Amino acid sequence: MLKEKVVSARRIAEVVATLGQEISADMEGRDPVFICILKGAVYFFTALTQHLSRSVVVDFIQVSSYGATTETSGTVILVKDITVDISGKDVYLVEDIVDTGLTLEDVIALLKARHPRSVQVVALLSKPSRRKVDVTVDFVGLEIEDRFVVGFGLDFAEQFRNLPDIWEFAP
């Protein structure tokens, strides 16, 4: 059930606009490709890329982790690969939330094998207290406590992604 609103749609919009400005400045002199990690990041991704100051290439990747319900298992399998060539490009990898960091670590390794010039991570939310591996999140929207959240793309058992606000959820 939904327990408490953690981030309102209004606050999300502000955070996304700020990130859009920061990343637009960072893109100067780069050849950017924005990669969305499906499905959770898709709402954030579409909002964010519309705040960028110029045209960018977009693509999508989907991974899944075995087993767990509200926790990642640490074993990531590739469900859908990107379709654009990222060699020599500056990748901005867009994630919904960074928890242990295990998913990102695997996705970054997979992308780096294609020889991009750079890979930077953009996350709407981060739970720093939960980190198990040392991944650099270059652009973070908001840091939150260790609570399981749904909405604005984030799911529980594939439900709640379409909620405009982000809520704490208790199964």
Q: How far is the CB of 32 from ligand 5GP (least distance, A)?
A: 21
Which CA distances in Å does 167 have to 3, 70, 72, 95, 171?
7, 14, 19, 18, 12
**Residue from 99, 106, 134, 138 carrying the catalytic annotation:** 99
Q: How far is the CB of 139 from ligand 5GP (least distance, A)?
A: 16
Pairing of strands 32-38, 90-98: parallel
For residue 80, whether the previous peptide bond is cis, meaning omega lies within 30 degrees of 0, is no
Q: How far is the CB of 91 from ligand 5GP (least distance, A)?
A: 17
Distance from C-alpha of 19 to C-alpha of 25, rounded to nearest angstrom: 10
Binding site for ligand 5GP (CB under 6 A): 40, 72, 95-104, 148-150, 154-156
Residue number, 66 or 115, with CB nearest to ligand 5GP: 66
The answer to whether residue 99 is catalytic is yes
Active centre residues (catalytic): 99
